[in-house]
């Protein structure tokens, strides 16, 4: 399995997202190739349909998709059981990993 973690340098949340992803993979007993994609400019954000940092994709499909007219360099927030956070929880990521494995 290959997971793309899209981020931009100005976002402080992507590293926590990476830590949560690693913890979720470990908890599920899975191995994955994680490709860190540093989104550096607006044109690249538009081309990648970047929904904010951090974003998680498998096969170019965002795990938390949403429709947008514009894509830009921005931090992303996730609705978690503990409220709005800058990264999904380990359990949220585990659910996405289980769905990928089940396909």
- Regarding pTM above 0.75, the answer is yes
The string of pLDDT tens digits covering residues 34-48 is 999 999 999 999 999
Q: 81: which DSSP letter?
A: T
pLDDT for 67 equals 87
In this predicted structure, the answer to whether residue 59 has a pLDDT above a threshold of 90 is no
Q: What is the mean pLDDT of residues 18-46?
A: 96
Nearest to 11 by CA among 43, 35, 48, 40: 40
Q: What is the pLDDT of residues 64-97, one digit of tens each?
A: 999 888 999 999 999 999 999 999 999 999 999 9
Query: What is the rounded average pLDDT for all residues in the chain?
Result: 95
Q: How do the domains of the chain map onto residue ranges?
A: 2-102
99: left (phi over 0), alpha (psi -120 to 50) or beta: alpha
Residue 6 pLDDT > 90: yes
DSSP state letters, 57-73 = EETTEESS----S---S
CATH code of the domain occupying 2-102:
3.40.30.10
Read off the tokens for 79. 């609705």
The pLDDT value given to residue 37? 97
């Amino acid at each position: 399995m290959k997971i793309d973690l899209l981020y931009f340098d100005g976002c402080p949340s992507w590293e926590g997202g990476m830590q949560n992803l690693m913890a979720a993979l470990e908890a599920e007993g899975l191995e994955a190739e994680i490709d860190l994609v540093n989104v550096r400019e607006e044109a690249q954000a538009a081309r990648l349909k970047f929904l904010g940092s951090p974003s998680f994709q498998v096969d170019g499909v965002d795990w938390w998709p949403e429709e947008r007219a514009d894509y830009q360099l921005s931090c992303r927030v996730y609705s978690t059981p503990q409220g709005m956070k800058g990264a999904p929880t380990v359990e949220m990521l585990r659910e996405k990993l289980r769905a990928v494995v089940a396909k």
